[in-house]
Amino acid sequence: MGRLFGTDGVRGLANRDITADLALQLGTAAARVLTARRDDDSRPQAIIGRDTRQSGAMLAQAVAAGLAAAGVDVTHVNVVSTPAIAFLTSSGDYDLGVMISASHNAMPDNGIKFFAHNGYKLEDATEDVIEECLGEEWDRPVGEAVGRICEDYELAAHAYIEHLLTAVEVDLSGLRIAVDCANGAASDLGPQALRQAGADVVVINASPDGKNINDACGSTHPEQLQALTVASEADFGVAFDGDADRCLAVDHTGALVDGDQIMGVLASGMKRHGTLASDTLVVTVMSNLGLLIAMKEAGIAIKQTGVGDRYVLEEMRAGGYTLGGEQSGHVIASQFATTGDGVLTALLLAQEVARTGRTLADLAGIVTRLPQILINVPGVDKERAGDDEGLAEAVALAEAELGDTGRVLLRPSGTEPLVRVMVEAATQAEADKVAHRLAEVVAERLALG
């Protein structure tokens, strides 16, 4: 059996892979591991939130029950974004935070993410200890020592939005922003924050019904936002994913502005204002070569990590850097957040547009993206992706063919049973040709059974 925790918590098909029983056990195990820091007689505390999936309430209640069974008092804040849970955990007297979400995945999936008392995602070693505790016999608290569960559905709406607004130093009045909330966790929080910052906001996909989260909308499907931005004559648009830890944008012409371009805009602005620590941006190996070239020309150094915003954050913390993220739209501004925050990213992007008086299309032009293609190859043994000699030979041949004008990256997904094939090249036709050829090799060499 493989490791239970993936690159972003525990995730899978709700009520099959991620069951109420597993959620309860994880709550208890996490409580035993993450509340050991208290050296007084005060009761350990936890905060838990969820996105809008139908299975979310079931799993949140199960995790809360597991925490309470371990003697932890639990505050349940209901529907809220992942970065809101991270902030509330770090700003309150909580030993841990829990978010029930499968982020950008389709509605049938769900997941459980844990945050330490400082609002940061757990290190691999800590997750491993939690996993080892699952199902262990232990001395359970009884009587008054059993934890209590309370609800506070207004906490996030006030404390978190108030915190977000501290990041905005200019009035956003005069900006019209189109917002696609993905029928997810930011359906209320996102538009509220932008409006309170002064922007005129046009909203779509902010009517969650438990089933429509990420359904042909949000950051993974920006087509509706592209049409709305043009039709509403907005200055630009932003799209969140289901738990709002991602943000992608659309300029006034309807052109997509991805996470690489957003980071290029923000890094350049922060460098001008002296807030980009060490004039360095932290990105993953998935970032487009165009961003790396643009940042070099702007005098901004690049640090690259493995894929996953947690690894970006680890590098940021180690080096004291203030901006990092992923092409997918996970952007971490460490002065204000301990994780990727889609709503914060939207506010910072709007601030840069307002400060400069330039269009987002003009600002994003700093990054000329090299043609890129990403192919997901399902139904394969992703664990063998780094060991198969035939596949390694095919990759080496492709890299030699592309030379200095492109690159190849094969990556097993951390959350899904597939291998991702990414190719960049001087032309789209060349990238497509190489990527599809490699995808066929992956499907053949790593076939299950």
Q: Rounded CA gap, 290 and 301, in Å? A: 14
Backbone angles phi, psi at 366, to 5 degrees: -60, -25
Task: For the chain, state the CA radius of gyration.
Answer: 22
Q: How many CB atoms lie within 10 A of CB 212?
A: 17
* Torsion on CA atoms 331, 333, 337, 341, rounded to nearest 10: -30
What is each CA distance from 108 to 210, 240, 314, 374, in whole angstroms? 10, 19, 31, 24
Q: Rounded CA gap, 35 and 72, in Å? A: 8
Q: How many CB atoms lie within 10 A of CB 404?
A: 7
Backbone angles phi, psi at 284, to 5 degrees: -100, 175
Q: Which residues contact 132 (CB under 8 A, 6 or more apart)?
A: none
Q: Which of 55, 101, 103, 287 is catalytic?
A: 103
Contacts 24+ apart (CB under 8 A), 231-234: 232/176, 232/178, 232/202, 233/176, 234/176, 234/177, 234/178, 234/202
Beta strands in 293-366 (DSSP E): 301-305, 323-325, 331-333
Q: Give the residues across from 98 on adjacent strands.
A: 48, 114
Q: Rounded CA gap, 233 and 228, in Å? A: 8
| b/e map 249-263, b = 16+ CB within 10 Å | bbbbebbbbbbbbbb
Structure tokens at 133: 């505790």
* Torsion on CA atoms 227, 228, 234, 238, rounded to nearest 10: -90
With contact defined as beta carbons under 8 Å apart, do 345 and 329 qualify? yes
Q: Is 103 a catalytic residue?
A: yes
Half-sphere exposure of 375 (CA within 13 A, CB side): 18
Residue in this structure with the two tokens 């350049």, named with its chain if needed: 268
What residues are annotated to the active site? 103
